Amino acid sequence: MTTTPAQRFSATAAAYAATMAPSLRPIAAEVVRRARLEPNDRVLDFGTGTGIAAAASLGDGRRVTGIDAAPGMLEIAIADVPGAMFREMDFAALEFVDASFDAAIAVHSLLFATDQCAVLREWLRVTRPGGRLSLSVPGPVGVTPTAVYGEIYDRYGIDTVGRYPTIDTLAALAAEAGWADMDVAADPSAAIFLTDAAAFRTWREMGSRSAATAELTPDQQRVLTDEMLAVTPRGADGRLRIPFGALFLAARKR
């Protein structure tokens, strides 16, 4: 039976919280910093996941709402970030009236939009004139997992071509959607850090449910995980380090 991305994320929410979320926290902090939030702002966090960016946005009387289509993610967010409001919602079809928010933030979630330009227009719609957008995406491709696993991906038919933007293509996409005053930056050192092989296997269990590898048998998944683990670099602290990269974009609604 075919599962939706939201169902896959919901089913793997605990694995995400244990593996991805800790590595995304510094990226979320930078997204929030670049949003230049003000006291009492109404903030909307798109694809909030376990709520790490929503948590970083709280304070100074701000009203923070996180949305996600995966109920399993939201269960964790609600438990971990009691100061924010969370709603199950498709970020491509928002249940908010125009100009409802002062600031819009998104940490590595735009990548999962089928039509990224249309999604950015929808995010623009619910942001007030003069309001701000701040987001991150993985990339560019040379500092993503493809840099380490490219040869393995090729052998297994895992296609990542065109998935990751560059600074220029990200800025152009936002401009096409109607955002203005783009400010872009990159952190090629951003990575997923995992403590040991067990954590790696947990991370891969989450990835094994993605559309890219859904057709592989359980045995093929296990072999793929072993091959990937064998070539994964380690940092100076001994942790496994999977390159991911981060591109940042901040913009304003005219």
pLDDT in tens, 42-72: 999 999 999 999 999 999 999 999 999 999 9
| Total-model pTM | 0.95
Bridge pairing between strands 42-46 and 63-68? parallel
Per-residue DSSP letter, 69: S
For position 166, what pLDDT does the model report? Answer: 95
CB 58 within 8 A of CB 84: yes
Contacts of 253 (CB under 8 A, 6+ apart): 124, 127, 128, 129, 130, 131, 132, 133, 178, 179, 180
Number of structural domains, the chain?
1
Structural domain of residue 10, as residue ranges? 5-141+162-189+244-252
Bridge pairing between strands 191-194 and 240-243? antiparallel
**CATH value at residue 169:** 3.40.50.150
Q: What pLDDT band is residue 1 in, cutting at 50, 70 and 90? A: low
Is the model's pLDDT at 214 over the cut of 90?
A: no
In the chain, % of residues over pLDDT 70 = 99
Per-residue DSSP letter, 178: T
- Tens of pLDDT, residues 2-37: 678 899 999 999 999 999 999 999 999 999 999 999
- Tens of pLDDT, residues 139-190: 999 999 999 999 999 999 888 777 899 999 999 999 999 999 999 999 999 9
Within a domain: 195: no
Mean pLDDT, the chain, rounded, equals 95
Within a domain: 229: no
Residue for token digits 């249940």?
95
Averaged pLDDT for residues 68-82: 98
Averaged pLDDT for residues 107-121: 96
CB 33 within 8 A of CB 185: no
Within a domain: 231: no
- Measured from the Cβ of residue 95, the count of other Cβ atoms closer than 10 Å reads 11
Mark 163-193 as b/e (b = at least 16 C-beta within 10 Å).
ebbebeebbebbeebebeebebebbeebbbb
CB 148 within 8 A of CB 67: no
Within a domain: 202: no
Within a domain: 118: yes
Within a domain: 146: no
Per-residue DSSP letter, 31: H
Within a domain: 175: yes
Within a domain: 119: yes
Per-residue DSSP letter, 254: -
Question: What is the spatial distance between Cα 221 and Cα 209, in angstroms, rounded to a whole number?
Answer: 10
Q: What is the DSSP string of 71-104?
A: HHHHHHHHHH-TTSEEEE--TTS--S-TT-EEEE
- More reliable by pLDDT, 206 or 101: 101
